[in-house]
Amino acid sequence: MKLLPDRVRRPILSLYERRVLNDLDPAGFPHHVAIICDGNRRWAREAGFEDVSHGHRVGAQRIADMLGWCADLGIGTVTIYLLSIENLSRKSDELDALMEIVPDIVDEIARPTGNWQVRIVGTLDPLPEDVAERLRRASERTTDHGGMNVNVAVGYGGRQEIVDAVQALLRERAAAGDSVDEIIGAVTVEAIDRNLYTGGQPDPDLVIRTSGEQRLSGFLLWQSAYSEIWFTDAYWPEFRRVDFLRALRDFSARTRRFGK
């Protein structure tokens, strides 16, 4: 099939984007959107780049775009899956590139012009100390920002988050001098929820995953129990605003039952 030239395709896409936007009712928007930004490496390979880190760099710009789209639509919380625990086992050359790109991304989205507060969710212990410190400083620079809450999942594992939450709860109750039976009784859904990395924030209403993969890959396992999940074949670097609007339109058309 012959593709239309850009000078023709762009106006058509812009018109379609406005149509999708007009179909949306802000009252039906999700309060919390979580994104698995997948497909950076595959996009780079298929685009002919030998260095797959180029895909991560292009994907980094898409993250900044995405936050702008969410802020413009009044979405309150966004969680971005940036670097998993498993990613840390990648071959050294790619991992070295990620250790440069990840703090660059967080520095970029923590700029004073961003109307959001950045929070690192995950464990920074396995990261090089200079990388971990850059991430901490970037988050601290946004402490007084208003607007959206932006969670950046770095060194993140969903199972580990649940383990950490339970251990934190047990330490708290043991320090209070509770008996074994009292400690056991204190392990409730609400107590674990308070001790998660995202404690105090709403669970994601909508989880988006790019690149055609249809799994959560350990992302927000506890919090996404009743999330709506939207998959797209687009690789993350080519994810467009119109794709995001289509995800919102699909979300607003679903009936959420929360297990009932």
Q: So which residues are the catalytic ones?
A: 38, 87
As to burial, measured by CB atoms within 10 angstroms (0-12 exposed, 13-18 middle, 19+ buried), residue 67 is buried
Structure tokens at 131: 């990388």
86 known ligand binder: yes
Q: Is 130 annotated as a binding residue?
A: no
* Residue 215 labeled ligand binder: yes
* Rounded alpha-carbon distances, angstroms, from residue 199 to 52, 135, 193, 224: 35, 19, 6, 14
For helices 129-140 and 92-109, the axis angle rounded to 10 degrees is: 20
249 among annotated binding-site residues: no
Determine if residue 38 is labeled as part of a ligand binding site: yes
Give the bridge partners for 150, in sequence order.
Answer: 78, 118
Task: Flag whether 53 is marked binding.
Answer: no
Q: Is 224 annotated as a binding residue?
A: no
- Is 62 among the annotated ligand-binding positions? no
Is position 228 annotated in a ligand binding site? yes
Q: Residue positions in the annotated binding site for substrate?
A: 39-43, 56, 84-86, 90, 209, 215-217
Q: Residue positions in the annotated binding site?
A: 38-43, 56, 84-86, 90, 209, 215-217, 228
